[in-house]
Amino acid sequence: MNIEKLRLLYFSPTQTTQKVLNAIAAGFQSDAVIHIDLTLPDSIRSKEPGKEIRIDDGLTIIGVPVYAGRVAPDAAGRIRQYKADGTPAVLVVLYGNREFEDALRELKDLAVDAGFRPIAGGAFIGEHSFADSKFPIARRRPDHKDIEKCSEFGALLRKKAQQVDSIDSIPIPKFPGNYPYRDPNLLEDISPETLEDLCTRCGTCVSVCPTAAIVLEDKVVTETGTCIVCCACVKNCPTGARVMKDPKILGIAEWLWKNYSKRKEPEIFFG
């Protein structure tokens, strides 16, 4: 079975999930790679009857970050906009070196509900949202070793696809995880802050926020109830003016560094 069209469907506030999918696509060596970036608010489409967004050909690689052992809620909502009819899919979750827990199982269920047919999956590691110079949790990952493994995974996907005549002959993998899923225990009413003496009001934080939680008025204003603590604004601020100072976040970062600093490696799954 030849797959000429490759779609990358992803939610990636800090670009780490996108990097992993790009590397998998490079290993797959498709002539046509289509990006469907679900990260920013303008990726949210209307749900009018008869206006479903269809994906009916090629192979789709779906990538999401892990939040507290689950698929990031905003990613899940945006994936539900898409519908397929048995279209093959590869499922990828990216986590910050702790555990991916139920995320891959949940992503499989989301994909199947949308009409995709999962043929493989992987759990990869990326720099944790709370990582900084003091607590460098998976700092600068995916690194070159991760990218090599992503590329190898992509090449293996292409090889396996070429060995079968029909997608139906590829079994759906069994992914680790629990159902019912664990309670994600997400953080609420917490957000990064702005150091006014460093802020140039350039608007970068506004442009990278996946939930439109930041607005630029006389100063930068953040709606804490809308913020998902992805820290895209912190990692992209050119002057270092966006910082996370909440003691709960700092405590979690210290705990993660003390207990989950040992390097973990990617895991891949086939049926």
pLDDT digits (tens, 9 = 90+) for 107-158: 999 999 999 999 999 999 999 999 999 999 999 999 999 999 999 999 999 9
β-strand pairing of 267-270 with 116-125:
antiparallel
| Pairwise CA distance, residues 266 & 204, whole Å | 31
Q: Taking the CA of residue 24 as centre, how many other CA atoms within 13 Å lie in the half-sphere pointing to its CB?
A: 34
Average pLDDT, the chain: 94
Q: Supply 181's token pair.
A: 């899923």
pLDDT of residue 186: 84
Helix (H) or strand (E) holding 21: helix 16-28
pTM of the model: 0.95
Model confidence band, residue 3 (pLDDT cutoffs 50, 70, 90): confident
Q: Identify the three-state secondary structure at position 75.
A: helix
Contact criterion met (CB below 8 Å) for 168 and 118 = no
Round the CA-based radius of gyration of the chain to a whole number and report it: 19
Query: Which residues, listed in sequence order, are joined to residue 193 by a DSSP beta bridge?
Result: 243
Alpha helices in 175-225 (DSSP H): 204-208
- Residues 6 or more apart from 182 whose CB is under 8 A from it? 69, 70, 101, 102
- Report how far Cα 12 is from the mean position of its chain's Cα atoms: 5
pLDDT given for residue 144 in this prediction: 98
d(CA 111, CA 106): 9
User: pLDDT value at position 2?
Assistant: 80
What pLDDT was estimated at residue 192? 97
- State how far the Cα of 182 lies from the Cα of 201, in Å rounded to an integer: 40
Predicted local confidence at residue 4, as pLDDT: 80
Q: Which residues pair with 222 in a beta bridge?
A: 214
Measured CA to CA, the distance from residue 150 to residue 19 in angstroms comes to: 9
Percentage of the residues of the chain whose pLDDT score is greater than 90: 87
Contact between residue 269 and residue 173 where contact means Cβ atoms under 8 Å apart: yes
Flag whether pLDDT at 69 surpasses 60. yes
- CA–CA separation, 227 and 235 (whole Å): 15
Question: Which helix H or strand E contains 176, and what residues bound it?
Answer: none
What does the longest C-alpha to C-alpha distance in the chain come to?
62
What was the pLDDT predicted at 52?
75
The tokens for 154 are: 């992509």
In CATH, the architecture of 5-181 is 3-Layer(aba) Sandwich (3.40)
Handedness of CA 97, 148, 31, 57 (dihedral sign): negative
Residues of the chain with CATH 3.30.70.20: 193-257
pLDDT of residue 168: 79
CA 256 to mean position of chain CA atoms: 19
What residue ranges of the chain are covered by domains with CATH 3.40.50.360? 5-181
What confidence score (pLDDT) does residue 1 get?
77
pLDDT in tens, 25-61: 999 999 899 999 999 999 987 555 556 799 999 999 9
CATH 3.40.190.10 holds for 193-257: no
